[in-house]
Amino acid sequence: MRSSRHLRKDHSSRLARLSWLSWLSWLVGPAALVMLPASAFAQVQPGPAPSAPTTQLPGAAPGPSNPSGSGPINAGPASGTTPSADQGVPTGAPSAVGSPSDNVVQGVTGVDNTGTAGARAAGTPPPGTGTGGFMDTRLTWTFGDDDFLHKTGELIPLSPTFGVGERPQYRLFFDNLNSRFSGRENITHLVMYKKLPSFIPKLTTEAALVMRFDLAQLAANTGNLNSAIYDSGSYLRLFYQTGETEKEGLSAVFFPLDTDRFRLGYLYDLSWGGTAASINQSIFPRLQGAAPGMKIQYDNRRFYVFGGFKTATIVQPQQVLSPGGENDVETVRVGETNYGFLAGAGVDPLDNLRFDIGGGYFQQGKFDLEDVRGKNAYTYGGSGRAVFHQGMPVPQSVDFLLYRNDPNKPLILFKPEKYEPDQLGFSISAELDWLQQHLKDFDVAGATKDQAARGLAVQGVVKAGYLRFSATGIMRELNFVVRNVPGFIPFATLPTSAKTDPELFGSIAADYHFPSAHLTPGIGGGVQLPATFRSEFTDGGVPAQRVIVVRQQGDESILPYNKDRSAILQARVAVRWDISEMFAVVGWVQLIRDNNGTLVVRDPAEGTASLRVFQSPNRVGASVAVQARF
């Protein structure tokens, strides 16, 4: 047996070692915490890794896996009469038609995709930059005045004098029809992306966390972070290659947070089934939180087919027994899960011809109107599109794409427009969207019925060398304009005695690029007849009518008695100067004539009664924007 002296010595030695270890951990711990973020974002060059299969759109005008698009190869016909978001401030010229290479927003190229996260310049990453993540940023400094003909307060909407900042009035009705953005926002996307081959042969796994930071909302100091920082299409994706090439396969996309990028329809302004409640584009009324879901799609060289669903929590009335123990029924309002189902297909019978079709059914909670309370509200319908194109890909909307940072595919987000002196290409598309909305019957107490809502768009884009030209025509019935309410009268059909007029508009635009000077002047203009709701009646035995003009959901004007809608004219002349691949200056002058705006004034004959009169219809504005995209 060992002596007690030896035991005490061993015990003291262990205590000393423990003491040193404690001091060492106390010193190393904070240092490790400080070093972890740096190491996580360090731009180190990873070692070689096995290449992972990637999916592409089928055929010459492929039909991609559209992981996030509504239907086919990502919806959205040619952006038509204005430059795409890739080109910054609208010039009134046609926007670039997106590449249909995949239903994803591509990231940097030429770098191994197993690297760590890091920022990257658009399309030109520095050597050694990892592709595990990336950021894309738009910063715009805008100075101007949207109406310098009138003093502030004379017209509605208000127009302050010359100042710095983006204004809603800078966006004309034909601007960026294929995007939710005007191109002048101050926003950035943080994307943490990873893609690796599976342990199962021919299976590829990938995932992306996509966060959008709206810097203008942050600067507004409203305290509402939900409108400034939010999910912008995070997803998990599996792709199983079924054919000899990567153009054929089965994919499953899981949206854990939100499915706004998964829509039906093709032109963004006519799309439906979205979940962006903050901009009045949610198919789910009274939506609480986000709307996650999933999508499954099979791609072939000549066709594709997809199906999916999304869920949403909607506050709706529910009848329960009174908690007092009696048999009385009590109505409470609770958040309940509602579903939306989407499906579609597309085919390329020829290399330059595409047909797309899609349909969906969306639960919209229960009616909370007295005579139909507790009955189900829902919307169902379909969309179809035909595209004939030559020398241009099938058009698609960037807002339907998934963010990916795939080194085997080119970046298409913010991609500068490329002009080739000998290039000749065109794209012609026609789209029809037909919805049926199950609403309360306005004319019959306690009854419900379906009400139709239709939209139609025809677009053409021609690109010949350095010249681009586009033309767009759109028709939207009043019920389609307010499809996300749903109904002009919320959750109710239109009265049979009421009459409506559809929205009609047409626009043309053109621009020409001077490569030696890096200048692109452009001009565009259009005519719009806004949708209306009219009520006819007799006033003292004299027939009369009252008309409400609806430009878009939430933008309405009540006209004076017996006055009808007037055509809205808008035009813009602009010039863009590209200083570098990422930096540009754009200046423009715009004209708006809208004789549908009204004001309420005191009736000079009565003295106390109010009188609705027309306000001045003309607005002339000018602005300059300095923009960087990286």
- Residue 124 above 80 pLDDT? no
SS3 539: strand
SS3 25: helix
pLDDT at 327: 64
User: If you search the block for the tokens 């009400």, which residue do you land on?
Assistant: 451
Higher pLDDT, 326 or 25: 326
Q: What string of DSSP letters covers 28-83? A: HHHHHHHHHHHHHH--PPPPP---------SSSS-----SSSSSTTS-----TTS-
pLDDT at 325: 58
Q: What string of DSSP letters covers 322-334? A: -TTSSS-EEEEEE
In this prediction, residues 402-416 reach a mean pLDDT of 58
pLDDT at 405: 66
Q: Are 142 and 164 in contact (CB under 8 A)?
A: yes
Query: How many of the other CB atoms lie within 10 Å of CB of 213?
Result: 17
pLDDT tens readout for residues 137-192: 899 999 999 999 999 888 888 899 999 999 989 999 888 888 888 888 899 988 99
pLDDT at 406: 61
- Residue 273 above 90 pLDDT? yes
pLDDT at 131: 52
Rounded to whole angstroms, the Cα distance separating 399 from 349 reads 27
Phi and psi, residue 570, nearest 5°:
-140, 145
pLDDT tens readout for residues 435-456: 999 999 999 999 999 999 999 9
- Residue 47 above 70 pLDDT? no
Mean pLDDT, the chain, as a whole number? 79
- Pick the closest to residue 480 from 449, 498, 457, 503 (CA basis): 503
Element containing residue 380 per DSSP (H, E)? strand 376-390
Structure tokens belonging to residue 41:
């974002």
- Residue 55 above 90 pLDDT? no
pLDDT at 408: 54
Helices (H) and strands (E) in the chain, counts: 3, 31
pLDDT at 508: 95
Structure tokens belonging to residue 169:
């009035």
- Percentage of the chain lying above the pLDDT 70 cut: 75
Query: How would you list the strands of the sheet with 531-539, edge to edge?
Result: 499-501, 531-539, 542-552, 555-558
For residue 326, name the pLDDT band (cuts at 50, 70, 90): low
Task: Determine the residue type at 298.
Answer: Y
pLDDT at 416: 62
Task: Determine the residue type at 469.
Answer: F
**How far from each other are the two terminal CA atoms of the chain, in whole angstroms?**
75
Domain 85-277+289-629 has CATH 1.10.3470: no
Q: Please state whether beta strands 275-276 and 281-282 pair in parallel, antiparallel, or not at all (unpaired).
A: antiparallel
pLDDT tens readout for residues 189-224: 889 999 999 999 999 999 999 999 999 888 888 888
Sequence-ordered list of residues with C-beta below 8 angstroms from that of 11, at least 6 positions apart, any chain: none
What is the residue extent of each domain of the chain? 85-277+289-629
In this prediction, residues 369-388 reach a mean pLDDT of 95
pLDDT at 72: 34
Q: Are 526 and 517 in contact (CB under 8 A)?
A: no
- Pick the closest to residue 363 from 347, 348, 378 (CA basis): 378
Q: Taken in order 489, 376, 345, 277, is the CA torsion positive or negative?
A: positive
In this prediction, residues 403-422 reach a mean pLDDT of 64
Is residue 22 exposed (0-12), middle (13-18) or buried (19+ Cβ within 10 Å)?
Answer: exposed
Q: Are 255 and 222 in contact (CB under 8 A)?
A: no
Query: How many of the other CB atoms lie within 10 Å of CB of 195?
Result: 24
In this prediction, residues 345-368 reach a mean pLDDT of 96
pLDDT at 607: 65
Rounded to whole angstroms, the Cα distance separating 618 from 616 reads 6
pLDDT at 415: 59
pLDDT tens readout for residues 524-565: 999 999 999 998 887 777 888 899 999 988 889 999 988 999
Rounded to whole angstroms, the Cα distance separating 491 from 377 reads 8
- Residue 43 above 70 pLDDT? no
52-67 in b/e burial notation, b at 16+ Cβ within 10 A?
Answer: bbbbbbbbbbbbbbbb
- Pick the closest to residue 270 from 98, 100, 474, 526 (CA basis): 474
Give the distance, in angstroms, between the CA of residue 162 and the centroid of all CA atoms in the same chain: 29
Phi and psi, residue 625, nearest 5°:
-130, 135
Rounded to whole angstroms, the Cα distance separating 8 from 13 reads 9
Secondary structure of 116-184 in HEC code, one letter for each residue: CCCCCCCCCCCCCCCCCEEEEEEEEEEEEECCCCCCCCCCCCCCCCCEECCCHHHCCCCCCCCCCCCCC
CA contacts within 13 A on the Cβ side of 129: 20
- Pick the closest to residue 307 from 62, 58, 56, 67 (CA basis): 67
pTM: 0.78
Task: Determine the residue type at 116.
Answer: T
User: If you search the block for the tokens 């307010």, which residue do you land on?
Assistant: 482
pLDDT at 564: 92
- Percentage of the chain lying above the pLDDT 90 cut: 54
Give the distance, in angstroms, between the CA of residue 102 and the centroid of all CA atoms in the same chain: 17
Q: Are 213 and 219 in contact (CB under 8 A)?
A: no
Rounded to whole angstroms, the Cα distance separating 27 from 393 reads 59
In this prediction, residues 316-344 reach a mean pLDDT of 82
Strand partners of residue 360: 342, 381
- Residue 356 above 60 pLDDT? yes
pLDDT at 447: 95
- Residue 121 above 80 pLDDT? no
